[in-house]
Structure 1
Amino acid sequence: MSRRHASRAPPRWWHRLERTSPAAWRRHELHCEASVTPTEPEIERAPGALTILLGCDTFSPDINGAARFAERLAAGLVQRGHEVHVSAPNTAWRHVPARTEVIEGEPLIMHRLPSVKLWWHEWLRFVWPWRAKHWARRVLDEVRPDVVHIQSHIVIGRGLARIARKRGIPVIATNHVMPENILDFTRLPDALNRVFVKLAWADARRTFQLTAAVTTPTQKAADFLEKTIDVAGVLPVSCGIDMSQYTPDLEPRTENRIVFVGRLTSEKQVDVILRAVAKLDPALDVHLELVGDGDQRPSLEKLADELAIRDRITFHGHTTDEVLRGALTRASVFAIASIAELQSIATMEAMASGLPIVAADAVALPHLVHEGENGYLFAPGDVDGLAERLTTVLTASAEDRGRMQRASLRMVEAHDITRTLDTFEALYRGEPIPA
């Protein structure tokens, strides 16, 4: 599609058409496809480089694990000389021409699609589902990628997978979704939630069947996905982390600080951490730092007041990477009570900061936390169990604490971002995955 055509302001009838039926949209799309000739990509590629299109239903400025992974993946691919395009929701209901944005310090070609905000959620936006194929056609016409890598099967990824498959473009899919992630947004009764999740996974299966490969961050997550939607051969590929960005401090602590990093949403069960802190021996003089924001923050602040621990908690909210890394460096232990982690980039960041980890024994967290080695696990929702494990770490000898710190640093090396990029490059080219 020509740049001139893409940048032209839509006529008045366009806005009326936005409210018409999906069938009317499809007739309009067929007319557009017959009248527009795609142009060649304008950016010259280095020899051997690929043109890669990432399809993301959540991306910067969103703050969550899936968005952060996609940002780091895209930036890493650019550093390796590839031309990277990202199709993601716009922050408003309008389409803008493709433009370059600097993400993670690297230039990415962004295709921001008109999206609407879920009114009761802090940041979640989505493209109308019946418009997914339309925007997929337009972006694919403009980019003409060598490979499409979708980051979810929900809307943008769903549309791209179907149109790319028809055009013979290889599709790689990465799954970051757990049912708890979805249910946190629906506000439906439990009975309808069960139906919603069943239909969502059935649609996921249809999407993943169109791909050349399906990945997810850990082996536990791969096993879960294969069992849930009866798909075979899911590949565990770590989200990856650049350890050089973190500053571990292996010196003994002079104060007891617990840190949590992540969204303050229901599936993270941050209230369990607060209740556990309230049960700790006052002599430990513990301070809790919460780095992140979300819809649960008001209720968590109220709970802190009820537990009489408000003066021992810092709510950082959304903050800079420097503040986040500083909180991890000075902490004594990282605590996470989440029940819906397919990997947990935040936990890997804590490990790269040399922290012992106390985590819920749920989904993929046991993949990162080895009992008694780099920390401890507790039964999901068990406040007393979490308090006990936190006490064990906070009262550990300098020798035991140092051993856990070194174990975290050693274990996170397996999740180096270089390995992740090597694996995806091989998948994009249809080559054997490096050992």
Structure 2
Amino acid sequence: MDIAIFTDTFTPQINGIVTSINIFRKELTDMGHNVYVVAPKVTGYNDKADNIVRYFSISYMFQPQYKIAFPYSLTVPKLSDLKLDIIHAQTPFSMGLLALYLAKKSRVPLVYTHHTFFDGYVHYIPLNRKLLQKLSVLGSRTYCNHCTLVLTPSHPMRDLLMEYGVKEKIVVLPTGIDLESFTNNKLDNNIRQRYGISKSTKLLLYAGRIGEEKNLDFLLKSFRIVANRISDVHLLLVGDGPLKYQLIDLAKELDIASQLSFTGYLPRSEVISCCASADLFVFSSMTETQGLVLLEAMAAGTPVVAVDALGVSALIKNGQGGCLCEPSTEIFAKG
């Protein structure tokens, strides 16, 4: 089949949606399907892979690393000429609207994966939060009800969409991981040395966006409790985002700055190596629809302590692979 994936975020960006797209794209291609990716253009970046269609885009005013594509252009007829069998949207926004338009025009099934709990991200728009949360529910419901099939990466996210009033069929399809990436010969064993962390130090790891929606102030306050009990412990935060400098100030205020490091964005292979080097993976987000990075940590052999919320709740059962905690710093610190 000829399948087109429409997304507002793709390489060179590093996030869970991009990882999911690349995993499904590879597996579908290996099964013999012809897969296209339609995404915003990123200035200065040239795709190495085939079948990538890029649209002119501008940076989102409040988060420059995110792009807003202008999907209505002279390339639309070219996409129509592809004679697609399935259109798969990863977003309800700019590229998702193009996907919806083409699906209706070509009478092609539209599949939509609902990756994001949008309620948890409204703080990036400087308007009334309650109003934006209502609009996010309305927008999610409206888009889903225009699709042939809706996919969610977890049962809690499916249940939430049903509460929103989605009437179309919803199927739970989690993103898997490529276990070959976790073999010892592909791991970097010098992660601790690179960041000045001794082998005897207990290393706690967080990987993900450094943003308000990840509940990282909670994580730092929990870590302070741990650091007061265990002197030789370090927290490594992999990723970047708008909250970084606020967290640096908070770490100084909590007197844990010397026991905390930020790496910035790292390639996925290095994130996996960080997971393998850590003693514990800690995750405080309450907005995850799946939490793919938790699967990666567990695949690397690292136990997880996470807040029991939304998609994360579906990943860890009966203490297998880790521990789920109430959103209390004392309880989280105890693990």
Provide the TM-score with structure 1 as the length reference: 0.69
Shift of 1:115: 1.1
> Counterpart of 1:233?
169
> Counterpart of 2:265?
318
| Mapped partners of 2:313, 2:162: distance in 1 | 19
Residues 90-138 of structure 1 deviation map (CA, whole Å, 9 limit, x = unaligned): 124x9x9xxx833xxxx3311111111112214111124xxx4557833
CA 333–115 in structure 1, closer or farther in 2 if over 3 Å, else same: same
The runs of 4+ residues in structure 1 deviating greater than 3 Å are 132-139, 281-284
The total of aligned residue pairs comes to 321
**Which of the numbers 371, 374, 377 marks the counterpart of 2:324?**
377
> Counterpart of 2:11?
60
Matches within 5 A, 1:28-427: 50-92=1-43, 101-102=47-48, 107-128=49-70, 132=71, 134=73, 137-188=76-127, 192-247=128-183, 254-280=200-226, 281-380=228-327, 382-389=328-335
| Mapped partners of 2:103, 2:118: distance in 1 | 27
SS in structure 2 of the partner of residue 239 of structure 1: coil
Contact 1:122–1:294, Cα closer than 8 Å, also in 2 = no
The structure with more strand, counted as a fraction of residues: 2
Residues 360-394 of structure 1 deviation map (CA, whole Å, 9 limit, x = unaligned): 111111111225333222223x21121111xxxxx
Shift of 1:140: 2.4
Larger radius of gyration: 1
| Mapped partners of 2:135, 2:159: distance in 1 | 20
SS in structure 1 of the partner of residue 323 of structure 2: strand
| Mapped partners of 1:161, 1:171: distance in 2 | 7
SS in structure 1 of the partner of residue 234 of structure 2: strand
SS in structure 2 of the partner of residue 143 of structure 1: coil
Contact 2:145–2:168, Cα closer than 8 Å, also in 1 = no
Aligned CA RMSD, in angstroms, stands at 2.4
| Mapped partners of 2:141, 2:98: distance in 1 | 14
Contact 2:239–2:265, Cα closer than 8 Å, also in 1 = yes
Shift of 1:176: 0.7
CA 165–195 in structure 1, closer or farther in 2 if over 3 Å, else same: same
Shift of 1:232: 4.5
CA 284–356 in structure 1, closer or farther in 2 if over 3 Å, else same: farther
Contact 1:221–1:364, Cα closer than 8 Å, also in 2 = yes
| Mapped partners of 2:140, 2:267: distance in 1 | 34
Contact 1:292–1:317, Cα closer than 8 Å, also in 2 = yes
SS in structure 2 of the partner of residue 123 of structure 1: strand
Identity fraction in percent: 26
Contact 1:175–1:216, Cα closer than 8 Å, also in 2 = yes
Judge which range, 357-366 or 313-322, deviates more. Answer: 313-322
Contact 2:6–2:39, Cα closer than 8 Å, also in 1 = yes
SS in structure 2 of the partner of residue 112 of structure 1: strand
Aligned AA (2:287): A
Aligned AA (1:124): Y
SS in structure 2 of the partner of residue 358 of structure 1: strand
| Mapped partners of 1:139, 1:368: distance in 2 | 41
Contact 1:219–1:236, Cα closer than 8 Å, also in 2 = yes
Residues 151-177 of structure 1 deviation map (CA, whole Å, 9 limit, x = unaligned): 111221122113312321111111112
Aligned AA (2:160): F
Aligned AA (2:142): R
| Mapped partners of 2:93, 2:311: distance in 1 | 22
Contact 2:150–2:168, Cα closer than 8 Å, also in 1 = no
Provide the TM-score with structure 2 as the length reference: 0.88
| Mapped partners of 1:64, 1:320: distance in 2 | 10
